[in-house]
Amino acid sequence: MTLTIQATTTGAAPPGATATGATAIGPPRRRRLGLGRPIPYGRVLGPLLLLAVWSAGSASGALDPRILSAPWTVLRTAGALTADGRLPDSLLTSLQRAALGFSAGLVIGTTLALVAGLSRLGEAVVDGLVQVQRSVPVLGLIPLMILWLGIGEAFKVVIIAIGVSITMYIQTYAALTGIDSRYVELAEVVGLSRWRFVRQVVIPGALPGFFVGLRLAVTGSWLVLIVLEQINATSGIGYLMFQAQNYAQTDVILVGLVVYALFGFGSDAGVRLIERRVLSWRRTLAG
Amino acid sequence: MAADPGRVSARASALIRGFGGRTVLDGLDLEIPDGQFVALLGRSGSGKSTLLRAFAGLDFGVAGSGEVAVPDRVSVVFQDSRLLPWRRVLDNVVLGLAGGGTARLARRSTARLGGRGTAGRGTGGPGGRSAGGLTARDARERGRAALAEVGLAGRERAWPAELSGGEQQRVSLARSLVTEPRLLLADEPFGALDALTRIRMHGLLRRLCERHRPAVLLVTHDVDEAIVLADRVVVLDAGRIGLDLTVDLPGRRSPADPHYLEYRGLLLDALGVREPGAKESEGVPA
């Protein structure tokens, strides 16, 4: 029996192998095709390079300051605007609008999603309505809202709130209704009450989707804010930039852009931080 | 805790279930006495899972007739461990206990007490009281005891994703036993585990059942699993019971035992499997 197996193996040897089976051997030779280890803090390299090119261009006079002010001019302008109080004032106004609109939208959107996601009646009433509302771009509501509310703060807050609430609604509702049916079955089997089922299975299960909505909504609220402040405002960062455009002050415009960028980056980082805390059970999955 | 073999723990009578015009269970009668371990075999589509789901009360909206009677405390073990990934192991175990959801205060106390396996292992089952009226602290105490029973003391604070497949299934066993069920329904609970883990799980399940004495209905497609574990093997065929076999093997059941092979042959016959030669060891119908 054993002999037969050996004979077969030898007979089936590849034609390249010598009769004795002694081919030349050595360490494995492989060309590495993957990208290798990432550079530490590599992500700042690009922005730093851009800053260097910008500085060089401004210093050599290749960049017309009317087109693009030098980095140091922007810094100096930021200092001056802070000193005379215009920047802090505008910043506060803008932050207030965004925060008010965002929190109102967050509460409304999440509440609607809970109503629609947790009961069939709520779904029938709310979901159709929101789906219709969703097909109207938020910025398209500006004329109507101005007619209704004037061009004061209320109108801006309402527009931001509508945008945020729709984003929050869509993501949260999808997460609530998309809960794994296996977990529903489990809850039935262990005899959870409806309330405990919602609290311990549905809501924790929907949190990842809720956070996706939160991140989209934060970004979206800044976008809406910028548009509102640049066309219909008498205060705020956007208004500051709009005025600067009239006087061709590129340095002020750049200060505004940097502030917006910091807003956007900061709030996204904040949401991600909260998400990591709340969804700590997921970290183990990511490794 | 004590099983009374004279009493019936679960009963299905004249059970008819169908899906889309196809009859899956066709007037089936089955009685499971208290404390008996019944394995349910059958080919794919023979209605094993349908019967189990009928006992579990999980057949909402399924057409059919007949009666099902089960005790007040029924637990189900699924093929997947079905742990909620956002609850720590102990919180998963106590999910079905009355005090299991509101134990915010007690949570901290388990955190850094004792390393692995220091808690009393197998110190007997939790008290056989009803699951109602438990305080959060009692619930967690029972959960911890159940985890110790399945050999997972010390892993109370782990996330389900940090456990291996076998450990996850052990947690799910602990979750099903912590309520002291009178009837345990298991739907191919070891089907997704590797062969070595499965053998270990068989031993664990036998020990747990000897201690808690629930009536068990185990759905499986593995003939050997059925013979090793069960007091009685029922083969489903075309929606009815094709064979009802009491397994009378003493002590540790070994595949080398000639009686074991006799049972095996009988069951494979009932399942309509013909083995090519007597040596073939895989008796799993497709």
Whether residue B279 is contained in a domain is answered as no
CATH code of B251's domain: 3.40.50.300
Residue among A266, A223, A264, A216 nearest A109 (CA):
A216
Q: How far is A202 from chain B (nearest CA, A)?
A: 11
**Pair B120, B249 in one domain:** no
Gap between the Cα atoms of B19 and B50, Å rounded: 10
First-to-final CA distance of chain B: 38
Gap between the Cα atoms of A285 and A283, Å rounded: 5
Looking at residue A138, the DSSP 8-state letter turns out to be G
Reduced to 3 states, what is the DSSP secondary structure of residue B110?
helix
**Pair B171, B200 in one domain:** no
Tokens of residue B231, six digits: 């007091």
Q: How confident is the model at residue B127 (pLDDT cuts 50, 70, 90)?
A: very low
Whether residue B81 is contained in a domain is answered as no
Helix, strand, coil content of chain B in percent (nearest 5): 30, 20, 45
pLDDT of B131: 43
Query: Which residues partner with B126 through β-bridges?
Result: none
Gap between the Cα atoms of B85 and B131, Å rounded: 24
pLDDT of B277: 57
pLDDT of B22: 85
- List pLDDT tens digits, range B133-166: 678 888 899 999 999 999 999 999 999 999 999 9
Residue among B195, B117, B110, B112 nearest B151 (CA):
B117
What does the mean pLDDT of chain B come to? 81
CB B17 within 8 A of CB B63: yes
Burial call A37-51: b when 16+ CB within 10 Å, e when fewer: eeeeeeeeeeeeeee
State which residues form the domain around B25: 8-71+182-270
- List pLDDT tens digits, range B23-43: 888 889 999 999 999 999 988
Looking at residue B251, the DSSP 8-state letter turns out to be S
In chain B, the number of structural domains is 2
The domains of chain A are located at: 69-276
pLDDT of B52: 92
User: Is residue B250 pLDDT above 90, yes or no?
Assistant: no
* Chain centre distance of CA B176: 8
Gap between the Cα atoms of B241 and B231, Å rounded: 16
Q: Does B168 lie at the interface with A, CB-CB under 8 angstroms?
A: no
Gap between the Cα atoms of B49 and B219, Å rounded: 7
pLDDT of A112: 96
Average pLDDT over residues B193-215: 90
Whether residue B126 is contained in a domain is answered as yes
CB B186 within 8 A of CB B81: no
**Pair B143, B200 in one domain:** no
Q: How far is B88 from chain A (nearest CA, A)?
A: 8
CB B36 within 8 A of CB B216: yes
The answer to whether the CB atoms of A196 and B101 lie below 8 A apart is yes
The answer to whether the CB atoms of A285 and B161 lie below 8 A apart is yes
Q: How far is A60 from chain B (nearest CA, A)?
A: 58
Q: Does B56 lie at the interface with A, CB-CB under 8 angstroms?
A: yes
DSSP code per residue over A200-249:
IIIHHHHHHHHHHHHHHHHHHHHHHHHHHHHHS-SSSHHHHHHHHHHTT-
Tokens of residue B92, six digits: 């998963």
pLDDT of A83: 94
pLDDT of A254: 93
Query: Which residues partner with B67 through β-bridges?
Result: B13
Q: How confident is the model at residue B274 (pLDDT cuts 50, 70, 90)?
A: confident
Please report which residue ranges of chain A form alpha helices under DSSP H.
2-11, 45-60, 71-83, 86-118, 120-122, 128-134, 142-149, 153-177, 181-189, 194-197, 203-231, 237-246, 250-278, 280-286
- What are the phi and psi torsion angles at A118 (to 5°)? -110, -5
CB A208 within 8 A of CB A282: yes
Tokens of residue B210, six digits: 């000897």
Please report which residue ranges of chain B form alpha helices under DSSP H.
48-56, 89-93, 104-107, 136-149, 165-177, 195-212, 223-229, 258-270
User: Is residue B199 pLDDT above 80, yes or no?
Assistant: yes
Average pLDDT over residues B35-53: 90
**Pair B223, B266 in one domain:** yes
Whether residue B286 is contained in a domain is answered as no
**Pair B202, B261 in one domain:** yes
pLDDT of B187: 93
pLDDT of B129: 37
Q: Tell me the CA distances in angstroms from B208 to A4, A100, A112, A186, B13, one per residue in order.
A: 49, 58, 47, 21, 29
Contacts of B175 in chain A (CB under 8 A): 190
Q: How far is B113 from chain A (nearest CA, A)?
A: 21
- CATH of range A69-276; options 3.90.1150.10, 3.40.50.2020, 3.30.70.120, 1.10.3720.10: 1.10.3720.10
What is the block-wise mean pLDDT of chain A (287 residues), using blocks of 10 residues? 48 50 80 83 87 93 88 93 92 93 96 94 92 89 91 91 96 94 92 91 94 94 90 87 90 92 90 90 61
Which range among B46-50, B217-221, B262-266 has the greatest average pLDDT?
B217-221
Q: What is the pTM of this model?
A: 0.76
Task: Give the count of beta carbons closer than 10 Å to the beta carbon of residue B260.
Answer: 17
Contacts of A185 in chain B (CB under 8 A): 58, 78, 82
Q: Tell me the CA distances in angstroms from B20 to B23, B50, B64, B236, B247, one per residue in order.
A: 8, 14, 11, 20, 36
User: Is residue B46 pLDDT above 60, yes or no?
Assistant: yes
Reported as half-sphere exposure (CB side, CA atoms, 13 A), residue B111 has a value of 6
Q: Which of B131, B153, B177 is the last residue of a domain?
A: B177
Tell me which residue in A186, A199, A205 faces B82 most closely, judged by beta carbons: A186
Gap between the Cα atoms of B252 and B244, Å rounded: 22
pLDDT of A9: 47
CB A65 within 8 A of CB A58: yes
